[in-house]
Structure 1
């Protein structure tokens, strides 16, 4: 058994004597700790289905115990509702949407060479830094170059005597893929509560019960790691964080900008000798929002290391801890093979969501996501017509804005964006989100692969005039026919991203954009940006001009496209034009046999829908390829 393998309780007890002897020898040679050790125990895909958070079905004594003697963060959020962009922000202290394409799910963001990740900064200050073992950083950082030890054997025990350590241990026990088969345990399907936005089906009940049982299993693994820390005589010199990398995986959670997708669990235990670094007494609950962009600054604050300028988060522990923050921000762009764009902000009581692609439904089929029985049951009920309007909303197009009172409506089913009584809060959160997007130079308006992507490149206002793009993006997403002249004029803008959003606005208008046919046809035929040509072609399909427009989309879906990202955009457009896409079957069959995972999934889906063979349980995802990625630690 390797050090990176979780020990069973029986094996742990059997080894306690040897561990204690080794710990005694280590204590005899170790110098007194001048700086705290830091241990991150990271789990995957967890909402706070935890006893300490009030879940009455949960059996999580380890997490509950850490909370009782440490700090429980009531409103803690990942900055993206999926692993890879979230992990980019944690590693770098930079919002993923500031460094496109790191904001896309599974991409390679280019981190400026002058920037240093938190393990590099800690190592430069004398810390021994290990990661066991998942990386999934969504950027061009070499994991082996930034850690002292990286991989399944990595452990704090590799440090020299007396050296402070920062160690990360990642548990995949609760990962989304673990829901694809039921997990038996103390929580049974008949015991769970199903939220109002979901139908009450056997598959959904099974997933909720399995999730609770996986949480209990993960809690036991945390207990074993903490016992190992104690056996090494390090418990009183080590600050322990337990948190999940993003929100949960039950339907409408992971990948979506609701509480279920972004709200995580986090407890922090600070030993007595380091409690002067805490903002509150042990056993306290922190109710003000915290987000994961604050984790790297917090580490540096605990270690007494200066925070570099690119890290825009605020430390919530340590000598430099900041005042409580008012807001936490989140985002969604491409999720696996599906293109979308949403931004959100919460103060812990209210959540505001802005959907820049409201013409796309929430429930776009995603091959990996649909391996879960819950999603299959949900779509099957939609297709059978048995859902009520609240449950069926997931499969409809989105409003431009959403606003929820989380105290009164924890299931987030009553959108108050049009409610006069909620107008002051809507205005406040709208303004906060605008200011944040400008402050961090949000790259999200750039379709993947367009010129201007990148932390440095996107700051060139000739290529990416963000304030102007935000204004046009808002006009486009509101879908007001009165804005038709402005959108048509935008098709002639010198900057490709502005033309893209002008075309997107015309696509959103649908039949109301009929007068824009000539301008759209010109853009489809001759625009220098393939992204603009794709959107213009889809808009023309919706206006009934299918033959030429479908041919343009087919041309951009095949091998002659400039990149797989462009192919993916074109295939997405073909998925939303119905039977008009029948001529695309040959190119769909071609990409379905290719090497690129997302093209393969979308090609298979398009074939199934165009041939009439699709069902919610159709085997679209390449499961064998996924398992290979899991073995390599690359699947989130």
Structure 2
């Protein structure tokens, strides 16, 4: 019987054959247009050398950053996988897509809600590009089995792993862990593995190493077609569980790893840790202590694991960069590397995502483009939503009319100092009629967060007429978000300014009825 890999290889060959030797491509495309290598990393916060984390070993990503533009104040739309990827790849905010949470079950939300919408890779496909996804680009729970098949010329398919026993569910390679998981399944129990694993195996014994090697193979194939390519590579690390080959763990001395300096919620926070799930994402693993907060030793183990996964992914990025150079196309390829959202590593006492705080909302974005922005660092506020129009401009393509982001190319060229006044991130907690939605406005100095009731049982959702709580932070005087300033009278003007920005960004949101004037601060009840 033919293996899945062999069947997919035949599909790739068939999809590429018509294009071999083609000088012109559909809708005016040309092989002179730049290629695009689109790399997304799951749960990657800006914990990288090029973002100032000097203790992190990320030489290949740092080199990419030196060759391109680093956006140091970039923010995601939602600190959760499905909605933030949905927004970036469609070019629309969550309040337009209606995707706020990870779906309870896989369903083709994209084509059910937007049957004719053109996605980012589909737009490149329509202009003659070879387009292909590897692993988690969209969140698979929001698209069809082909990873939104209409977006790709080369179909979604498997990646190659090193010879030997494949990873267990969760990506584990340790033989003892695999045996325990098998025993649990045989007993009809839910198999639960540890939060971390260091195993002395080659990189492609784990999924992301195999993914990188398959991506390198695709790069070699696509450079022979005579057409530009858009290759999307979705690495799953540093998402939990923090599993990586031992060699990457050995880059760090655990006792020297820094812990989060502030591990409490801000003074005046309208919520407690239960609102944020009591770090349920990490507590879902078998070896995580039940105490609150986590013991310092275990905190260091988790951060060590996250750092090892970052270094592991960095090695895979290095492989892809070398492959571009070996194929002779590095000088004509746009490389875009981004994290889908951040992740709290103990900051505010939280281990996980889905907050509107800086550690969850701020994400790395690095764009390296031929002849544009080499070695530039942009501190202006940007959004992940801006990636779609930015890649379009770099490739010489018009951005579709529905796209809500703005191109960052003027910032890359140094011809503009800013592209927007503020970044908008939001977080939804709960489902159905009893949910809570929080919108966050991040300006260069401040963050304003507004919380309203949300009824998600209908389409469109219904939000409360007025906020029931607000938060305000000043990053110049309080970079660790230690105090919610919304209740302090001297910040009334700043509060009102940010509420006006939010009203401008989301004109469809119900008016707040003068929240700044009515004393709705820091979780105080609405009068």
Relative distance call for 1:335 and 1:304 in structure 2 (3 A) is farther
* Secondary structure of residue in 1 paired with 2:440: strand
* Secondary structure of residue in 1 paired with 2:321: helix
* Secondary structure of residue in 2 paired with 1:88: helix
Relative distance call for 1:168 and 1:473 in structure 2 (3 A) is farther
Number of the residue aligned with 1:344: 440
Relative distance call for 1:422 and 1:74 in structure 2 (3 A) is same
8 Å CA contact 1:106, 1:336 repeated in 2 = no
Aligned-partner Cα distance in 2 for 1:35–1:242 = 19
8 Å CA contact 1:288, 1:347 repeated in 2 = no
Number of the residue aligned with 1:188: 253
Relative distance call for 1:405 and 1:233 in structure 2 (3 A) is same
Among 231, 236, 239, the alignment partner of 2:331 is 236
8 Å CA contact 1:105, 1:335 repeated in 2 = no
Aligned-partner Cα distance in 2 for 1:348–1:207 = 31
Number of the residue aligned with 2:359: 260
Higher strand content, 1 or 2: 2
Structure 1 position 66 matched with structure 2 position 69: no
Provide the TM-score with structure 1 as the length reference: 0.55
Aligned-partner Cα distance in 2 for 1:226–1:346 = 33
Number of the residue aligned with 1:325: 420
Number of the residue aligned with 1:291: 383
Structure 1 position 146 matched with structure 2 position 151: yes
Aligned-partner Cα distance in 1 for 2:480–2:326 = 43
Aligned-partner Cα distance in 2 for 1:170–1:282 = 25
Aligned-partner Cα distance in 2 for 1:42–1:482 = 41
Relative distance call for 1:407 and 1:63 in structure 2 (3 A) is farther
The correspondence of residues 519-598 of structure 1 with structure 2, limited to 5 A, is none
* Secondary structure of residue in 2 paired with 1:351: strand
Aligned-partner Cα distance in 1 for 2:505–2:453 = 19
Cα deviation, residue 340, structure 1: 3.2
Structure 1 position 419 matched with structure 2 position 514: no
Aligned-partner Cα distance in 1 for 2:242–2:526 = 49
Cα deviation, residue 156, structure 1: 4.1
Aligned-partner Cα distance in 2 for 1:476–1:94 = 33
Range 332-341 or range 342-351, more displaced = 332-341
Cα deviation, residue 423, structure 1: 2.5
Cα deviation, residue 335, structure 1: 6.3
Provide the TM-score with structure 2 as the length reference: 0.65
Aligned-partner Cα distance in 2 for 1:44–1:88 = 14
8 Å CA contact 1:87, 1:137 repeated in 2 = no
8 Å CA contact 1:197, 1:411 repeated in 2 = no
Unaligned runs of 5+ in 2: 7-19, 24-29, 160-214, 265-292, 455-466
Aligned-partner Cα distance in 1 for 2:231–2:526 = 57
Cα deviation, residue 184, structure 1: 3.6
8 Å CA contact 2:38, 2:232 repeated in 1 = yes
Aligned-partner Cα distance in 1 for 2:520–2:241 = 34
8 Å CA contact 2:453, 2:468 repeated in 1 = no
Structure 1 position 429 matched with structure 2 position 494: no
Spell out, residue by residue over 1:224-271, the C-alpha distance to the aligned partner (whole angstroms, 9 max, x if none). Answer: 111122122111110111111111252435111111111111222223
Relative distance call for 1:38 and 1:229 in structure 2 (3 A) is same
Structure 1 position 96 matched with structure 2 position 98: no
Structure 1 position 205 matched with structure 2 position 300: yes
Number of the residue aligned with 2:203: none
Aligned-partner Cα distance in 2 for 1:91–1:315 = 14
Aligned-partner Cα distance in 2 for 1:335–1:312 = 27
Number of the residue aligned with 1:161: 225
* Secondary structure of residue in 2 paired with 1:413: coil
8 Å CA contact 1:93, 1:311 repeated in 2 = yes
Aligned-partner Cα distance in 1 for 2:150–2:338 = 25
Number of the residue aligned with 1:614: none
8 Å CA contact 2:81, 2:340 repeated in 1 = yes
Unaligned runs of 5+ in 1: 5-27, 359-397, 443-465, 484-636
Relative distance call for 1:329 and 1:34 in structure 2 (3 A) is same
Relative distance call for 1:184 and 1:66 in structure 2 (3 A) is closer
The correspondence of residues 452-467 of structure 1 with structure 2, limited to 5 A, is 466-467=510-511
